[in-house]
Amino acid sequence: MLATYPYQGRPFAFDPAAPLDISLPLAPGEAQVNCFWAEPVQVDVIRVGSFVGSVALGGSTNYQRVHLTPHGNGTHTECYGHISAEPTATLNRCLRRFLFVARLVSVQARPQANGDQVVLLDDVRRELESGPDADIRPEAVVLRTLPNHRAKRTHHYSGTNPTYLEPALTEYLAGQHVEHLLLDLPSVDREEDGGQLLAHHAFWQYPHATRQAATITELIFVPDEVEDGLYLLNLQITSLELDASPSKPVLYALRQE
């Protein structure tokens, strides 16, 4: 049974039973995506006296402690607190809605004179301004970079200077009132840029006109079979009072009624 979702004065339909999970799992060990020199996810069994928090080891229940780095391990969502000293700038306080109309676009990064691979404004704008959904202004943009290797699911990016975004692109998205940006890269900015984080600042318009409700989600993976187009995004996070959280973005294909 289809559900309806009104947006910009138009009725849209989607199938709640057909979710498209574009998050990467968090699991212990080296065979997981990793960036910015983060330690791998670690899961430890809790031991208290004679109690062992592992059924496999003879305990009555599984009871474990997880060590992870949101910005370096798997899919994560961050708010402007990532570049702010404000103690109240946490994702749990900034993200208060969880359903958004999103456009998925696929773009090829362009080689630069210095050897970097960069996603450019002109390529993304051309995709957003073409096609049957061009007249619908999305609340979220999902960027799939090409080529779309499955190695993105397990790649170790640290020290590789991975693809990043041109700051003019995030400036443009902010100007188009795109509140949520999702991408299959470790960061919108260059791995080492001297601490400038120009694309982060441009997207959040920080610090002069900070878009406090805006978020960036990194290290997603969109399979090839998911077509470019319009989707309903369900952006799921944990309630950690931090600038970032492991997250689970889920897409539902939208169609106009």
Please, which residues have CB within 8 angstroms of residue 124's CB and are 6 or more apart in sequence? Answer: 105, 107, 141, 143, 169, 172
> What percent of the chain lies above the pLDDT cut of 70?
100
Residue 1 is predicted with a pLDDT of 82
The torsion region of residue 6 among left (phi > 0), alpha (psi -120 to 50) and beta comes to beta
- The full length of the chain comes to 257
Q: What would the pLDDT profile of 10-22 be if each residue is shown by its tens digit? A: 999 999 999 999 9
> Would you list the domain boundaries of the chain?
3-25+70-256
Provide the 8-state DSSP code for 145: E
Q: Are 199 and 193 in contact (CB under 8 A)?
A: no
pTM of the model: 0.97
Name the nearest CA neighbour of 232 among 149, 124, 133, 125.
Answer: 133
Residue 185 is predicted with a pLDDT of 98
Q: What's the Rg (C-alpha) of the chain?
A: 19
What integer is the mean pLDDT of 197-206? 98
Name the nearest CA neighbour of 38 among 76, 6, 2.
Answer: 76
The CA-CA-CA angle for residues 68, 72, 73, to 5°, reads 55
Band (35; pLDDT cuts 50, 70, 90):
very high
Look at the domain 3-25+70-256 and name its fold: Glucose Oxidase; domain 1 (3.50.30)
Q: What would the pLDDT profile of 139-161 be if each residue is shown by its tens digit? A: 999 999 999 999 999 999 999 99
**Residue owning tokens 């630069």:** 112
